A and B are shown apart, each in its own frame.
Chain A
Amino acid sequence: MRIYAVFVYLFLYAPIGIIVLFSFNAGRHASELRGLSVQWYGKALSNPFVGDAFVTSLEVALIVAILSSLLGTAAALALQRLKGSVRIFFDGLIYVSVMIPGIVIGIATLVALVTVFDFLNPWLASVWPEGVKPPQLHLGYTSVIAAHTLFTMSLVIIMVRARIAGMDRTLIEASMDLYATPWRTFYQVTLAQIYPAILAGFLLSFTFSFDDFIISFFVAGSNTTLPVYIFSSIRRGITPEVNAIGTMVLVGSLTLLMTAQYLMRDRGKH
């Protein structure tokens, strides 16, 4: 390997390595290493705020992953049936939503949601029966899930589309020919062929949602996800505890990503 490549990798990954290293710091300052210890992991795991944020992130990520795999798969299957320019148009939209920076999605979703809430809340109050407290729409759990799903659904669509495109269309005819009804053909052939992509999309969506800071920061309202918690705690200074949380998130995400990669690999067939 050429020397500059080494530098590029060093530049990219050294900071992450340092975080991992410092998470095992026995001392209480982030800048100096004083022996190794796992005490900060213990501290992080017993911190109720971390625990709450972690549970919130986990719940959000799980729901986002489920929603985006369901909606994304359905959309991918439907897109496959579209023809010509309509398909190109929707394909374009999907890639646009993947390429738009997170901060734009964050701000756009925030503005959109606030506008809708401002419009809907008075209307709900006016139509609600007298004496019953009308529901108040506000930013929170649901808005984070919606904003994340918007983005991750596109990932699922792209992955499932790739899988469907690689699928032999005559397999569906072969299945119909062998007396399988359209519904049975769908789950015995189509689903059986594309489920690795759906599963990979699920894991990727989960990882994305769990790790996302920017979008959550804008639309989470009073609910704190783990990345948002980490961000707010750094403002009080970087402690080895933050490093420990970061390391745990890193390991979890990498595991999921590698699983997704494994599922999407091209299996030895010709």
Chain B
Amino acid sequence: MVAVTSFRNVSKYYGDVTAAHNLNLDVTPGEFLSLLGPSGCGKTTSLRMIAGFDQPSAGEVFLEGECVNNVPAYRRPVNMVFQQYALFPHLNVMDNVAYGLRQLSPKPLAKEIDNRVSEMLELVQLASFNQRRIWEFSGGQQQRVALARSLINKPKVLLLDEPLAALDRKLRREMQIELQNLQRNVGITFILVTHDQEEALSMSDRVCIMQDGEIVQIGSPLDLYDRPKNRYVADFVGKSNFFEGVVGQMNKEGVDIKLDCGVSVELIANANTNDYKVGDRVCISVRPEQLTMVRDENLLSKNIAIKVRARVMNRIFLGEQTEYLLHNEQLGEFLALSSRRNELSERPFETNEIVFVAWSRDTVLILDGDE
């Protein structure tokens, strides 16, 4: 299948500043892809290069198999939803939504335009609002108008530049679900730019994680969470505890990792551990929910990689789960997540309580360590 849009060695420089460096990306038709990263990582630049607002300094951008480097924005069959919506304040809702259709040549008949606009407004649940002025709308409604406006021409790709950033938390959650449903209904490829990992993970089929103008890892949300390529990804996707160390002994059954703090961790050999050899600097990543916390150390199973005593420093109640900040003299501070259902103890841990913490030998992930 031909990718609906692709990057081939795309770079973008603004003077001395590198906004994007040697990007390679293939977007499958119909998928919901997120570009995730902190501000300045090149995600918006990438989106703007697909839209045609920015031209790559090197490399090629493809749309449906054709290089569009020299095609101006107004001839590219893609549409964009802007961060601040960029609705035309001098036009009413109807005229805003119809804008894209009216630029076509030959221009569609007035009746057809009317029908399509009504259809679009219905799709975003704004039917019967079409004579309203733009500024009479709330943020969420403006967002819907912007969506309707950018979908009316049935673009090959819909580009969304942090479209939910201006909405409050509750509304954002609603719009996330709505966007997802909308994408499934219309079957158009969506590329979403966001710095909100929760948003990216919950909405997209695939997430592309970017850092300093480069793509770090592309994969399904589950892939990224379970098999992050490096510490940056592990840190960006969900929370994680990191401990630096060196690979000690290694054999067919297991790996021994000597952490810098002096603690030694025993792990089961698997595909992940095979990437490393004795003496390599590594970083082990342990998700807070992979830690087991108990009061009585006899309750712990035998198959554990490590067991430490720790003091509860802080407790954050999250509803079904509780997050604990723990402190161990050697490991320092780390996070543990305990869900009520699985808690081995009958009552929550208190601040300053001494607990036993362990993690199992097969849940720990090894990543490249700092050089």
Contacts and interface: CB of A to CB of B under 8 A. Distances in A.
A171 B74 contact: no
A179 B86 contact: no
**Chain A interface residue count: which class?**
20 to 34
A189 interface: yes
8 contacts: A170-B82, A173-B51, A179-B74, A180-B74, A180-B103, A182-B74, A184-B103, A192-B90
Interface in B67-84: 72-75, 78-80, 82, 84
A186 to B, nearest CB: 12
Given A179-B100, A179-B153, A180-B103, A174 B82 contact: yes
Contacts of B232: none
A253 interface: no
A176 B90 contact: no
Main secondary structure of the interface of A (DSSP, over half): helix
Contacts, number: 67
Interface string A172-204: 011111111110110011001100000000000
A178 B79 contact: yes
A49 to B, nearest CB: 46
A168 interface: yes
B99 A193 contact: no
A83 interface: no
Given A189-B88, A193-B90, A176 B72 contact: yes
A181 B86 CA distance: 17
Given A170-B84, A174-B80, A177-B52, 20 more contacts: A168-B86, A171-B88, A173-B51, A173-B80, A173-B86, A174-B82, A175-B88, A176-B52, A177-B73, A178-B79, A178-B100, A178-B153, A179-B74, A179-B103, A182-B74, A184-B103, A189-B88, A269-B89, A269-B134, A270-B135
Interface string A191-231: 01100000000000000000000000000000000000000
A177 B51 contact: yes
Nearest to A181: B74
Q: Pick the 3 closest A-B CB pairs, nearest first.
A: A269-B135, A178-B100, A174-B86
A268 interface: yes
A170 B80 CA distance: 11
B53 to A, nearest CB: 6
B160 to A, nearest CB: 12
A168 B149 CA distance: 18
A268 B134 CA distance: 11
B316 interface: no
A184 B73 CA distance: 13
Nearest to A270: B135
Contacts of A193: 89-90
B1 interface: no
A178 B100 CA distance: 5
Contacts of B51: 173, 177
